[in-house]
A and B are shown apart, each in its own frame.
Chain A
Amino acid sequence: MYDAIRERSREILESDLAYNQDGLGRDRQLVRLAALLHDVGHGPFSHAAEELLPQINGGDGKYKHEQYSAAIVRSQLKDVIENHPSNANYGFKADDIASLLEGSSRAKQALFWRDLIDGQMDADRMDYLLRDSYHIGVQYGRFDLDRVIQTIVAIRFEDDGSIRVGITDGGFHAAEALVLARYFMFTQVYFHKTRVAYDVHLRGALKEILPAGVFPKPTPAELSEYLRWDDWRVLGLLSDGKGGEHGQRLRTRNHFRNIYSSPEVSKLADLDELKVVKEQLGGLVAAEEPASKSWYKTGTPDIRVVSQTKGPSPLSKYSSVLANLKANNQVLLYVYPEQVEQARKKVSEVVKK
């Protein structure tokens, strides 16, 4: 992707981002390293565990796995990066890679390439859709990756001068398929009611297992301990009977049951119905999982498309399908399997068929 953009958009990269030949060669390697390392900060079972990352001291919200990735690059991986024989050609500091990963001004003009690491058309997204489809045995996540790469470019926006990764109009159907692949993978796989139930149990079990119910922080004092938490350790503990009730449900595959789902595109009136159902169920509700909280949520895509005859347009101007695609804000309610019948009866009393 980097090479395709460099070849097709060299004029923009040189004039707007002050790149020269050497700079583009250096940042190619920097972006490769950042792409390779961007997810090393994931906890066990990746996104399922993200909610158990601790609060930031004095800050707003919790740590994110990207902050762990940057911390690991700056500490555990510092020596291997800075003293690798190949680095004699580049002189990278671990901080150069970490700055690009976490989005710091120290990354300078290389920040442009963050779109390829964490953006609408990032390499990770294109990889996981195809990889997940293959391993799960579904076709929902498939799209024409080759065509996307053949048409990917840097696009300048004349009005505000900003530059972003986009595609030429010859690739708009491939980009459309990429967005639809995300949509279908979300509705059919990532936000599937049973898969989501196991996220609930994994989170619940980890909360029981972890000291104080949260992972260690990405600080020098706690990072080594964080790295000891991997899939193997958690699976071993679960196998040993740890994880409380949720651990037991994972071991026996006796998961919570989905009792009510709001529409995939819920209006305010649908949320009112959800509220009524929740009140009716009362203590029977075992879990509530909104699509808006999911890491895989599809959001509002903004992929720029450019043609030789006119300025940039959003992909939704080319694709009537995407123009009508709304964000999925469905909410799933779960109950204990032992109380399904009781819950179903209660729901039917307030929800018309």
Chain B
Amino acid sequence: MSTDIERIGVLGYLVQRAPSGWVGRTTLMKHCYFLQELREAHLGYSFSLYSYGPFDSAVLSDLGEGEALGVLREEVISYPSGYGYQISCLLDPEQIAEVGGELLERYQRDIDWVVQEFQNYSAADLELLSTLVYADREALAAGEEISMAELSRRVKEVKPRFTNDYILRQAESLDRRNLLSAVV
């Protein structure tokens, strides 16, 4: 399999590892971001920041290709207040291992780790946590050492709807797990 197809296998495995057997689009996107940023998994995505957190349209392209290939399925689920996506995997674990090839083999444990660490968060929290990591890595790349309060302030400016306390608590939860690099 080519590396591109293997990446779809990685998405398939990530979906299979979810306790419910399916994930939403936000979970898929942010888990891929965490895989690359926190586990240094070289998937080849190029995330940049939007008001809804780190995003790369290539993840959705892979999802679309995964659907076309018959590896993944996406359904729209309607709620009283809106809608969500339910992404499931159409292949069994052996078949996904074949599609994912070497890429999946290399990062399987990292995917397990990401799912374990972040499986209980809502879409809103995943957006916030990934934005905190993004702002932290920006500071690191700029050679800055910043306080937890400064990191929270920067994220508050991107996401004003969250309270200062809530952002700070989430930042501290990442720091306790040693997932922030620029914070002193």
**Complex Cα spacing A313 to B85, Å:** 11
Give chain B's interface residue range (CB within 8 Å of chain A). 35 or more
| A317-B61 in contact given A16-B161, A111-B50 (Cβ < 8 Å) | no
**Complex Cα spacing A157 to B134, Å:** 22
Stretch at the interface among B74-82, B103-111, B172-180: B74-82
| Distance from A345 Cβ to chain B, minimum over Cβ atoms (Å) | 26
| A61-B44 in contact given A114-B51, A316-B76 (Cβ < 8 Å) | yes
- The answer, yes or no, to whether A271 is at the interface (CB within 8 Å) is yes
| Distance from B85 Cβ to chain A, minimum over Cβ atoms (Å) | 8
| A105-B4 in contact given A162-B124, A162-B127, A302-B25 (Cβ < 8 Å) | no
- A327-344 interface code vs B (CB 8 A; 1 in, 0 out): 111000000000000000
- Most chain A CB atoms below 10 A, which of B57, B69, B81, B131: B69
| Distance from B174 Cβ to chain A, minimum over Cβ atoms (Å) | 15
- The answer, yes or no, to whether B36 is at the interface (CB within 8 Å) is yes
For residues 232 through 289 of chain A, which have their beta carbon under 8 Å from a beta carbon of chain B? 265-268, 271
Using Cβ atoms and an 8 Å threshold, which residues of chain A touch B135?
A: 105
- The answer, yes or no, to whether B148 is at the interface (CB within 8 Å) is no
- The answer, yes or no, to whether A225 is at the interface (CB within 8 Å) is no
For residues 37 through 66 of chain A, which have their beta carbon under 8 Å from a beta carbon of chain B? 60-61, 64, 66
B49 touches A103 (CB 8 A): yes
| A104-B138 in contact given A111-B49, A329-B65 (Cβ < 8 Å) | yes
B46 touches A64 (CB 8 A): yes
| Distance from B47 Cβ to chain A, minimum over Cβ atoms (Å) | 8
**Complex Cα spacing A302 to B49, Å:** 18
- The answer, yes or no, to whether B158 is at the interface (CB within 8 Å) is yes
A111 touches B158 (CB 8 A): yes
B69 touches A114 (CB 8 A): no
- The answer, yes or no, to whether B67 is at the interface (CB within 8 Å) is yes
Using Cβ atoms and an 8 Å threshold, which residues of chain A touch B164?
A: none
| A299-B60 in contact given A105-B155, A105-B157 (Cβ < 8 Å) | yes
* Smallest Cβ-Cβ distance to B135: which chain A residue: A105
Using Cβ atoms and an 8 Å threshold, which residues of chain A touch B99?
A: 268
- The answer, yes or no, to whether B48 is at the interface (CB within 8 Å) is yes
What are some 6 contacts across the A-B interface (CB < 8 A)? A17-B161, A66-B48, A266-B69, A300-B64, A311-B83, A329-B65
